[in-house]
Amino acid sequence: MKPRIAIACQGGGSQTAFTAGVLKAFCENRVQDRFNIVSISGTSGGAICGFLLWYALKKGEKPAWKRLLDFWDDNTARTYRERLFNDYAIHTLKLMGDGFLPHYNLSPSSPLMKFSLRFSTVGIRREFTDLGALLDAHADFQELAAWDRQLEPPILILGACNVLTGRLHKFSSYLEPIKLEHLLASACVPTIFPAVAIGEMAYWDGLFSDNPPISCLTDPDFVGLQNIPNEIWVIKINPTTADEIPVKPSDILDRRNELAGNISLFHGLSHIERINRFLTAGAFTSEFLTKADVKEPIKIPKSFPDTPDAPYHIPRIEMSVELAKSLTYESKLDRRPEHIERLIRDGEMQGKRFLDARLNQMDAPRSA
């Protein structure tokens, strides 16, 4: 029987083009021949990448990665005006981060902000400045509304934060049809977009919630008992470690952003490790484990290359060290074609490397 895997995609703005490259590598190397993808979770840009792959898989599209790469191609600064808008925004953020320009706090709902955006985007494609329009161009949300809840794998889970209740929220295709508003909520950076209203509630970026959702991937209430994974693969955007203590204002901002993006991820991983300890200690009845088809802790074998020799390790696919060190907070908003292409290429390389190593581990003869 093929191992059941869940793929969790961390958020990080434009840097999640790396995630698109990883997912493309998985598809091109026929990941589904050896693994059963039972769920995909994501936050912000990771939610969008996960959604587009999930949508293509549900529709049986081949190649499944094409819709995802088409989205990123459409999301780049194509024209001179779009490049000018992009570069101005990035350089302005950089100058403010370095302390050379004052930082003004304006609400994205304010008339001044709306006028400024409307004035500065004259002659630019709507899809370049309106995330909803861009998503609408790459998925049929009327079709999705007719699908109803999805009980068969893969299940899609999107992380968001309820602004009014202060509670973490997950939109799950197992519980309800996926809507455009769910994606916009997960990607709603409050300094850029107004809160996304859904019913009587309002939502902000999933980076305030689970980045990405992890613990719910093992919760039958969110994915169904038959879709509990044997392994969770995390596509990680934010670096874990730093080479030196940040001193410059821009470096402090970069590191603060990285740490904030990882807090919920490590919390989710610790939750899985605790469940694994319960499993290995025999805390669950055999009847429950049989019903859930759980035979061992959610993990990768200890012999997996380039991983710590720890019993509860959950593998993470990360950027090359060279690429990760070259990125800044501002690059999470950078949509220059060469920047996006570089991220995708590195994602393809790291995704193939990971999958090759995992398959070699599976095919290696077991020691007696």
CA atoms within 13 A of residue 72's CA, in its CB half-sphere: 33
CA distance 245 to 250: 12
Active site residue 205: yes
DSSP lists the bridge partners of residue 197 as 202
Active site residue 44: yes
Q: Annotated catalytic residue: which of 14, 39, 41, 44? A: 44
DSSP lists the bridge partners of residue 161 as 168, 204
CA distance 227 to 4: 8
Per the document, the length of the chain is 368
Nearest Cα neighbor of 202 from 164, 243, 148 is: 164
H-only helix segments in the chain: 17-28, 31-34, 45-59, 66-74, 80-97, 111-120, 126-129, 131-136, 141-147, 180-186, 220-223, 249-280, 286-292, 321-326, 337-363
Which pair of tokens denotes residue 86?
């992009």
**Separation of first and last alpha carbons in the chain:** 21
Q: Annotated catalytic residue: which of 14, 39, 205, 346? A: 205
Positions marked catalytic = 44, 205
